[in-house]
Amino acid sequence: PKNKESLNDYGKKELEELIDFYGVANEPNYPMPIIDADAICDKWDNFKAILLANYENLFIDDLLPLLFQYHSDIYPNILLLMNIFYSILFSSVDCKMGFSKQNLIKTDICN
């Protein structure tokens, strides 16, 4: 957020959803949680305050490398969660376009 008044509630709902998924052991695939939910909850407000105070005017592309470089030892669980979140594709358009091109090339006649 751009002001300190809305900083307290910013991202709490979304963080709780991510913690519910990644902070719980998912047997049998993941016998241990991927992140430490308690550590994230303890440091979340401080993390937001640091972002607002030091990195307010940066775009996300410039911000992420700085966070991983300078804050990975203080906020390892939050940054691990961010790493997971930003590595997930937001769309399946590329995949669908690939299949569409494949279907144009590989037809019943060409087989």
- The residue extents of the domains of the chain are 12-109
Digit-coded pLDDT (tens) for 5-31: 778 888 889 888 888 888 776 666 666
Report the pLDDT value the prediction gives residue 71, as an integer from 0 to 100: 93
Residue pair 43/78 in contact (Cβ under 8 Å)? The answer is yes
Cα 85 off chain centre by: 2
**pTM across the whole model:** 0.67
Q: What is the pLDDT along the chain (111 residues), one digit of tens a residue?
A: 666 777 888 888 988 888 888 877 666 666 677 888 888 888 998 998 888 888 888 898 899 899 999 999 999 999 988 888 877 766 667 777 777 877 777 666 665
Residue pair 25/32 in contact (Cβ under 8 Å)? The answer is yes
Report the pLDDT value the prediction gives residue 111, as an integer from 0 to 100: 57
Report the pLDDT value the prediction gives residue 4, as an integer from 0 to 100: 74
Residue pair 18/81 in contact (Cβ under 8 Å)? The answer is yes
Q: How many CB atoms lie within 10 A of CB 35?
A: 19
Report the pLDDT value the prediction gives residue 39, as an integer from 0 to 100: 87
